[in-house]
């Protein structure tokens, strides 16, 4: 195997005086290689079709950097070459006629000494040369012989510090040929041997102690120091599989397989690692034996799999490459279907189109076949008799919602008969899930509203339920941003993915939540307060409870990508350390997309279905990546925790997803209903010129506000809770309108305050079906703590909270006295000052400034203008006073990231310069308590200007404008 060189930024000892590290590195690079003498025809690689390459960010460019600038390294500009970004690769067909490859590689100067890239040159899958270069390193010249190489591959990979700033250049890059010319080709398929070779290269590059190893669910799925090549890996993993199956109750007789494995191990021991043909031949024998062993698993007591065929969407947002947009019907590509894989573990599995001879029996599509449409999210009923799924005609009217361009729900029997349409209309309904009580949960846009961070219309979709025949449709989640993929755990709870987005960045929290089947008591499972984006998956999707276990399996996916990525195991019983505490990597060779690599890369896995804690069905493509778009061909695999993957079926023309054993399964328990009922979607809409009154109320009890993860300031006494409603956005584009100083933050209204007793308890009524969060107020009415999430009650529900951001794994003390608040009737929220419901700077704050500040500031030179000013001609219709108070206010500003937890006493009015000035007596001004309350209320609520998303000029003029949606 060729030697692997590395260039690192480590300090070199004994440098000659006056020589910089870059000069030394450049000298060393020159000494290692030299330019060849050209004898045959030469082809510049920037003259080949670089569009066939893979690029981890943006796209590969000829004669330009990936950032679109002239190629420049170490201060020198290069006229020839290509700029790209890891993870990426460029395949060049030589047909064995190549003589030599020459290039100068390095990190482009546009990154200003940032970034680090592993450069690799491979010939027919075998490593010929590699090095790691960082931004400050001098470029390295390479000159390699290519004798006999059929396909040359130029790869750029990430290093353990991530993929940011990794702008890679192959400059002065050319190929000398004996005859003819090379040509760029698409990525060739990987052999099973090469798949494992790529894993070995990945782990070796990350290092033996990397987090990809230490966070692995099972160490067998990593690469160990003794593994020399793919044959060593497959032998070790096959033995782990065999020993595990032999240890199970009812284990099959695998003595013959064990003897065969011992024989193959002896052959491997006698084959040199440099004798690839011989080792590949032994590898093929081990692979065949592994299949026989794996298929003897007693868990595989079924022979039919339900699945869908669905193309991977193109790698751009506007065509569906986004966590939300992938579920819009107008992005669907034709060619999918609902299939059954017959004889799934036999020698020749056969895919049968379940709907080939079926037409819809009812509704708008009565008498029509579903052929040619787009399929999504199949769900098998617990009794194994019927299938729910989503389908769309896929009319490509992008970002125009019609019946023909949206997903609708259908039901059909497992024999393909009785196809009925359950939902219709110009909204997307998808992700059906049968509940233990026979109703069906699903995700729908019917709740209303739009996302806050998009430059295009992206509707909110949340949990709904309906009867199994499509009637009695209810919204059980009034959440104001998106939710995905409900399933049912062993306790009968609904587990799903929720995008939590209260005063936080857009990519911080989309992780598991649970709720009851009637939508009561939504709770985060883990991951809602991540300490940093790169420390864990950006998103966990397709959650499934593992049979006989408390654990879950999920796909670690990207925010800015589709629901593909790396597979992880979640253990809710482990402490949540705001990082990877409860999470282990089931597929550790696949980095988390967007967290550890580009959002359009590392998307090989999807839709895992657990058989137990060790064995899973899943979709897999060894080269899966958003940058490949519809070229991805995810197939159906049997996966185990030891790292073994066995292909069951792949369609060479289209991707496959969502494998489900076609058999009955245990029905989880039916939980008692805690709510009178959910809300119908139309009940969230507010009639013009009236205060909205929610249909019904619930009760909320707080045991002890002082039971908190983060301690309150010493001596702080909490006297009340403030209830703040988060209002769904009704306009489609980000910051249109700009609600306040904070980018992409949500409008709100204050529903009122309720008292907190001396023991920290509270007991109060709450309007049903409205997303709210709570603030803990001190005796001066200032917020000491604030939620960064939201909750709600269903009509008739009683919701109980133990504390204020209390640790979820800490149970309340038993046997204590009944909390004081619970000994009296529930409190009714009392309104805050006028102008807070909905929020309005014009009505809440400006009157105080007019009374106490404007005259003096007008008469004082250089004092900031605290009047309304010419707001009708100002940006956003903001007052001069509002613009000038920015530096004195408190608000969460950034769109992408804010600190995930609120630090008690260090936010809002307590953390603002304005309150400090007013409290200390600004130029002798002493505001009356009611006026000071208005100012502190504004500061505690992110210092917003508007409280509704429409009629902003009227709001600035002082009109009371109610929100259109709650």
Residues 6+ apart with CB under 8 A from 743: 735, 893, 894, 895
Whether residue 253 sits in one domain with residue 309: no
Residue pair 503/940 in contact (Cβ under 8 Å)? The answer is: no
For residues 71 and 48, what is the distance between their CA atoms, to the nearest angstrom? 17
Which secondary structure element, helix H or strand E, spans residue 937, and what is its range?
A: helix 929-940
Whether residue 331 sits in one domain with residue 288: no
For residues 83 and 822, what is the distance between their CA atoms, to the nearest angstrom? 67
Residues 6+ apart with CB under 8 A from 619: 564, 605, 606, 607, 634, 635, 636, 637, 655, 656, 657, 658, 659
Residue with tokens 């209204």: 749
Whether residue 314 sits in one domain with residue 282: no
What DSSP character marks residue 403? G
Structural domain includes residue 45 = yes
Residue 920, Cβ neighbours under 10 Å: how many? Answer: 7
Residue pair 698/793 in contact (Cβ under 8 Å)? The answer is: yes
Question: Residue 427 is part of a domain; what is its CATH number?
Answer: 2.120.10.30
Sign, CA torsion 668/671/677/678:
negative
* pLDDT value for 684: 62
What DSSP character marks residue 677? -
Q: What is the 3-state secondary structure (H, E, C) of 883-913?
A: HHCHHHCCCCCCCCCCCCCCCCCCCHHHHCH
CA angle 633, 635, 637 (to 5 degrees): 155
Structural domain includes residue 767 = yes
Question: Residue 109 is part of a domain; what is its CATH number?
Answer: 2.60.120.1060
For residue 703, how far is the Cα from the chain centroid? 34
For residues 545 and 817, what is the distance between their CA atoms, to the nearest angstrom? 37
Whether residue 704 sits in one domain with residue 627: no
At CB < 8 A and 24+ separation, what contacts does 918-923 make? 923/856
* pLDDT value for 27: 34
Structural domain includes residue 681 = no
What DSSP character marks residue 557? E
* pLDDT value for 813: 64
Residue 875 token pair: 């940006």
Alpha helices for 501-561 (secondary structure H): none
Structural domain includes residue 927 = yes
Residue with tokens 């058999």: 663
* pLDDT value for 192: 94
Whether residue 321 sits in one domain with residue 287: no
How far is the CA of 372 from the CAs of 420, 526, 616, 726, in angstroms? 17, 40, 30, 41
* pLDDT value for 13: 28
For residues 519 and 475, what is the distance between their CA atoms, to the nearest angstrom? 8
How far is the CA of 200 from the CAs of 260, 320, 338, 649, 731, in angstroms? 25, 33, 36, 25, 49
Name the region of 584 (left: φ>0; alpha: ψ -120 to 50; beta: rest). Answer: beta
Peptide bond into 87 cis (omega under 30): yes
Name the region of 67 (left: φ>0; alpha: ψ -120 to 50; beta: rest). Answer: alpha
Phi, psi of 118 (to 5 degrees): -95, 120
The domain containing residue 132 runs over which residues?
21-188
How far is the CA of 213 from the CAs of 42, 217, 221, 232, 644, in angstroms? 43, 9, 9, 18, 16
* Nearest in space to 97 (alpha carbons), one of 186, 185, 153, 180: 180
Across the beta sheet with 337-342, what order do the strands follow?
350-353, 337-342, 304-309, 656-661
Residues 6+ apart with CB under 8 A from 133: 7, 105, 106, 107, 116, 117, 119, 139, 140
For residues 516 and 520, what is the distance between their CA atoms, to the nearest angstrom? 5
Whether residue 395 sits in one domain with residue 535: yes
Residue 20, Cβ neighbours under 10 Å: how many? Answer: 11
What DSSP character marks residue 852? H
Total structural domains within the chain: 4
Mean pLDDT by 10 residues, the chain (966 residues): 31 30 35 49 95 88 96 97 93 96 97 92 90 94 95 89 87 96 91 93 88 97 96 98 94 95 98 95 98 98 98 88 96 96 97 97 97 97 99 96 98 98 98 97 97 95 97 95 98 97 90 96 92 92 98 97 98 94 98 89 95 99 85 95 98 97 97 75 54 65 94 96 98 96 96 98 96 97 96 93 75 79 97 97 98 94 96 98 98 90 96 94 90 98 98 98 94
For residues 804 and 778, what is the distance between their CA atoms, to the nearest angstrom? 14
Residue pair 950/730 in contact (Cβ under 8 Å)? The answer is: yes
* Nearest in space to 329 (alpha carbons), one of 320, 316, 338, 317: 320
Structural domain includes residue 673 = no
Domain-terminating residue out of 608, 643, 661 = 661
For residues 540 and 328, what is the distance between their CA atoms, to the nearest angstrom? 20
* pLDDT value for 249: 87
> If 0-12 CB within 10 Å is exposed, 13-18 middle and 19+ buried, where does residue 534 land?
middle
Whether residue 917 sits in one domain with residue 768: yes
* pLDDT value for 495: 98
Whether residue 884 sits in one domain with residue 822: yes
Whether residue 248 sits in one domain with residue 360: no
Residue 919 token pair: 């409290």
For residues 823 and 763, what is the distance between their CA atoms, to the nearest angstrom? 9
For residue 191, how far is the Cα from the chain centroid? 30
For residues 940 and 780, what is the distance between their CA atoms, to the nearest angstrom? 13
* pLDDT value for 281: 98
Whether residue 466 sits in one domain with residue 546: yes
Structural domain includes residue 922 = yes
* pLDDT value for 11: 28
Which secondary structure element, helix H or strand E, spans residue 288, and what is its range?
A: helix 276-294
Residue 84, Cβ neighbours under 10 Å: how many? Answer: 31
Whether residue 252 sits in one domain with residue 156: no
pTM for this structure?
A: 0.88
For residues 262 and 107, what is the distance between their CA atoms, to the nearest angstrom? 47
Residue 545 token pair: 């409870």
> If 0-12 CB within 10 Å is exposed, 13-18 middle and 19+ buried, where does residue 477 land?
buried
Structural domain includes residue 964 = no
Whether residue 915 sits in one domain with residue 766: yes
Structural domain includes residue 168 = yes
* pLDDT value for 330: 97
């Amino acid at each position: 195997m060729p030697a692997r060189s590395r260039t690192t930024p480590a300090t070199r000892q004994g440098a000659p005086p006056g020589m910089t590290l870059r000069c030394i590195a450049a000298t060393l690079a020159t000494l290692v290689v030299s330019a060849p003498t050209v004898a045959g025809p030469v082809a510049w690689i920037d003259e080949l079709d670089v569009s066939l390459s893979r690029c981890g960010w943006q796209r590969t460019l000829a004669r330009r950097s990936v950032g679109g600038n002239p190629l420049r390294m170490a201060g020198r500009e290069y006229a020839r070459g290509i700029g790209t970004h890891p993870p990426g690769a460029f395949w060049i067909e030589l047909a064995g006629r190549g003589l030599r490859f020459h290039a100068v590689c390095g990190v482009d100067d546009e990154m200003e000494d940032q970034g680090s890239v592993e450069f690799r040159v491979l010939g027919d899958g075998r490593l010929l040369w590699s090095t790691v270069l960082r931004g400050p390193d001098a470029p390295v010249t390479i000159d390699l012989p290519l004798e006999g190489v059929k396909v040359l591959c130029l790869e750029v990979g990430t290093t353990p510090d991530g993929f940011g700033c990794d702008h890679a250049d192959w400059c002065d890059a050319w190929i000398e040929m004996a005859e003819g010319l090379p040509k760029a080709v698409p990525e060739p398929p990987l052999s099973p041997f090469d798949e494992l070779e790529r894993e070995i290269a990945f782990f070796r590059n990350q290092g033996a102690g990397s987090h990809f190893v230490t966070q692995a669910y099972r160490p067998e799925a990593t690469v160990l120091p003794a593994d020399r090549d793919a044959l060593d890996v497959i032998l070790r993993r096959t033995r782990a599989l065999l020993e595990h199956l032999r240890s199970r109750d009812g284990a099959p007789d695998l003595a013959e397989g064990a003897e065969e494995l011992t024989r193959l191990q002896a052959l491997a021991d006698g084959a040199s690692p440099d004798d690839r043909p011989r080792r590949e031949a032994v590898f093929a024998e081990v692979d065949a034996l592994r299949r026989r062993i794996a298929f003897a698993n007693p868990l595989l007591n079924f022979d039919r799999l339900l699945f869908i065929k669905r193309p991977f969407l193109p790698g751009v947002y506007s065509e569906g490459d986004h966590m939300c947009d992938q579920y819009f019907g107008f992005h669907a590509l034709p060619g999918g279907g609902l299939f059954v894989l017959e004889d799934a573990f036999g020698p020749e599995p056969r895919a049968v189109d379940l709907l080939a001879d079926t037409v819809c029996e009812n509704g708008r599509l009565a008498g029509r076949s579903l052929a040619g449409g787009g399929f999504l999210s199949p769900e098998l009923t617990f009794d194994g008799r019927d299938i729910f799924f989503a389908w769309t005609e896929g009319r490509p009217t992008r970002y125009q919602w019609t019946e023909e361009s949206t997903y609708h729900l259908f039901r059909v029997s497992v024999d393909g008969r009785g196809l009925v349409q359950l939902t219709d209309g110009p909204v997307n309904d998808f992700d059906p899930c049968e509940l233990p009580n026979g109703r069906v949960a699903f995700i729908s846009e019917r709740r209303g509203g739009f996302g806050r961070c998009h430059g295009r219309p992206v509707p909110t979709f949340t949990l709904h339920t309906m009867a199994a025949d499509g009637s009695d449709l209810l919204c059980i989640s009034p959440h104001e941003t998106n939710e995905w993929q409900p399933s049912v755990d062993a306790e009968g709870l609904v587990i799903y993915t929720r995008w939590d987005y209260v005063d936080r960045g857009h990519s911080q929290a989309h992780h598991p939540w649970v709720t009851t089947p009637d939508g009561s008591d939504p709770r985060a499972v883990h991951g809602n307060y991540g300490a940093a984006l790169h420390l864990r998956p950006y998103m966990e999707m397709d959650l499934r409870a593992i049979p006989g276990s408390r654990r879950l399996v999920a796909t670690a996916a990207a925010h800015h990508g589709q629901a593909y990525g790396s597979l992880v195991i979640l253990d809710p019983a482990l402490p949540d350390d705001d990082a990877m505490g409860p999470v282990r990597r089931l597929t550790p060779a696949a980095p988390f997309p967007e967290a550890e690599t580009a959002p359009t890369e590392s998307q090989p896995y999807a839709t895992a279905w657990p058989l137990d804690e060790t064995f899973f069905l899943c979709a897999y493509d060894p080269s899966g990546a958003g940058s490949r778009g519809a070229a991805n061909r995810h197939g159906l695999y049997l996966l185990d925790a030891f790292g073994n993957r066995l292909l069951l079926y792949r369609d060479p023309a289209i991707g496959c997803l969502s494998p489900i054993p076609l058999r009955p399964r245990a029905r989880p328990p039916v939980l008692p209903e805690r709510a009178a009922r959910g809300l119908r979607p139309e009940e969230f809409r507010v009639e013009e010129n009236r205060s909205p009154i929610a249909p019904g109320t619930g009760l909320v009890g707080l045991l002890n506000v002082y039971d908190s993860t983060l301690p309150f300031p010493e001596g702080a006494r909490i006297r009340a809770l403030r209830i703040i409603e988060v209002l769904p956005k009704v306009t489609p584009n980000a910051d249109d309108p700009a609600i306040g100083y904070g980018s992409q933050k949500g409008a709100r209204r204050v529903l009122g305050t309720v008292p907190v007793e001396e023991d920290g308890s509270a007991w109060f009524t709450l309007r049903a079906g409205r997303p709210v969060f709570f603030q803990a107020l001190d005796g001066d009415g200032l917020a000491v703590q604030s939620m960064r999430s939201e909750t709600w009650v269903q009509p008739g529900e009683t919701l109980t909270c133990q504390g204020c951001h209390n640790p979820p794994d800490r149970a309340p003390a038993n046997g204590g006295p009944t909390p004081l608040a619970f000994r009296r009737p529930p409190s009714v929220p009392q309104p805050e000052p006028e102008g807070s419901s909905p929020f309005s700077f014009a009505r809440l704050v400006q009157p105080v400034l007019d009374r106490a500040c404007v005259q003096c500031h007008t008469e004082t030179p250089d004092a900031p203008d605290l009047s309304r000013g010419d707001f009708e001609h100002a940006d956003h219709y903001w007052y001069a006073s509002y613009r000038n108070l920015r530096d004195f206010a408190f608000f969460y500003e950034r769109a992408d990231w804010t600190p995930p937890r609120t630090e008690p006493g260090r936010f809002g009015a307590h953390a603002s310069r304005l309150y400090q000035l007013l409290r200390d007596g600004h130029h002798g001004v002493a505001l009356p308590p009611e006026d000071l309350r208005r100012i502190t209320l504004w500061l505690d609520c992110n210092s917003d200007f508007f409280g509704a998303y429409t009629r902003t000029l009227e709001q600035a003029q002082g009109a009371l404008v109610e929100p259109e949606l709650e």
